[in-house]
Copies of this chain bind each other. A is one copy, B any other.
Amino acid sequence: MAAQKKITRAEQKALRPIQILDAAFEEFVRCGFAGTRVEDIADRVGVTKGTVYVYFETKEKLFEAMINHFSVPFQELLGITEGLSGSAIDRLLSILGLLYEQIAEDRTTRELTRLVIAEGHRFPDLIDRHHDQFIEPIIAKVDALILEGVASGEFREIPVEFSEIVVAPILTTTVLRLIFDDRRVPTPNKEAFLQAYFDLLLNGLLAKSH
């Protein structure tokens, strides 16, 4: 509390938009775009409606800014995947593990996914950017790794369209958690899930003798 007193006017100003974006995230997640009241966002920050409009022209602009703001960590993930080394298998599993942490486990990205699904119609640009910056690069990455693994003999010959299927369990976990919100679905055990996921992914269902 004493520390808070030290916040200068300048620091406060730099902080304000972040506070508003954080509050906007919570409210938009809770009520959707149309259902959210700007006043509730303001209340959450502890300011008045007018203050929100000092920083963001309209509710739409605020929504877009909020999406952009919270997309940053996801973008950083894509950078990390560049630095991986090891066999194609190792790198593929590493990437899938990171994706799981980022998409399925991280509440922010999970809820961002909800907003993308729910509000996409109203914000087509958002969808396009989401596709170009997230979906496309990830699919391309997985595609490339599979091809590399096939070339090196680690993987058997398979169609490139597999990529979506390969990552599917991650998005599915995300969506099921979004729908059942820790109420009907227990918080999944990461280790057990990844182990089962990777086991099935690598070996398939069939009995070896089959």
Q: Is the interface of A mostly helix, strand, loop or mixed?
A: helix
Q: Which A residues, 17 to 36, have Cβ-Cβ distances below 8 Å to chain B?
A: 30-35
Contact yes or no, A193 B161, CB < 8 A: yes
The contact of A117 among B128, B161, B178, B183, by CB within 8 Å, is: B178
Query: Which residues from chain B contact A192 at a C-beta distance below 8 Å?
Result: 159, 161
Q: Decide yes or no whether A203 CB sits under 8 A from chain B.
A: yes
A154 and B34 form a contact (CB under 8 A) = no
Inter-chain contacts of A196 with B (CB < 8 A): 158-159, 161-162, 165
Contacts of A175 in B (CB 8 A): 117, 171, 175
Residues on the B chain within 8 Å of A206, using CB: 154-156, 202-203
Interface residues of A in 161-203 (CB under 8 A from B): 161-162, 164-169, 171-173, 175-176, 178-181, 183-184, 192-193, 196-197, 199-203
**Number of contacting residues on A, CB 8 A?**
63
Q: Which of B34, B173, B181, B201 contacts A205 (CB 8 A)?
A: B201
Asked if B120 and A117 make an inter-chain contact with CB atoms under 8 angstroms apart, the answer reads no
Verify if A6 is at the interface (C-beta below 8 Å from B). Answer: no
- Given A200-B158, A201-B205, is A181 in contact with B120 using a C-beta cutoff of 8 Å? yes
Answer yes or no: A119 CB below 8 A from chain B CBs. yes
For A178, the closest partner residue in chain B by CB is B117
Measured CB to CB, the closest approach of chain B to A69, in angstroms, equals 20
Nearest residue in B to A150 (C-beta to C-beta)?
Answer: B207
In the assembled complex, the Cα of A156 lies from the Cα of B31 at a distance in Å of 45
By the criterion CB–CB under 8 Å, are A117 and B114 in contact? yes
Task: Determine the distance from Cα of A204 to Cα of B151 in the docked complex, in whole angstroms.
Answer: 17
Asked if A184 and B117 make an inter-chain contact with CB atoms under 8 angstroms apart, the answer reads no
Task: Judge whether B119 and A117 touch: CB under 8 Å.
Answer: no
Judged by a CB distance under 8 angstroms, whether A144 is at the interface is no
The 4 closest A-B pairs by CB, nearest first: A118-B118, A204-B204, A34-B35, A168-B172
> Could you name 23 residue pairs across A and B whose Cβ atoms are closer than 8 Å?
A31-B121, A117-B178, A117-B179, A118-B119, A120-B178, A120-B179, A127-B181, A127-B184, A149-B205, A153-B207, A153-B209, A154-B206, A154-B207, A156-B203, A156-B206, A158-B200, A162-B196, A164-B173, A168-B172, A168-B173, A171-B171, A171-B175, A200-B204
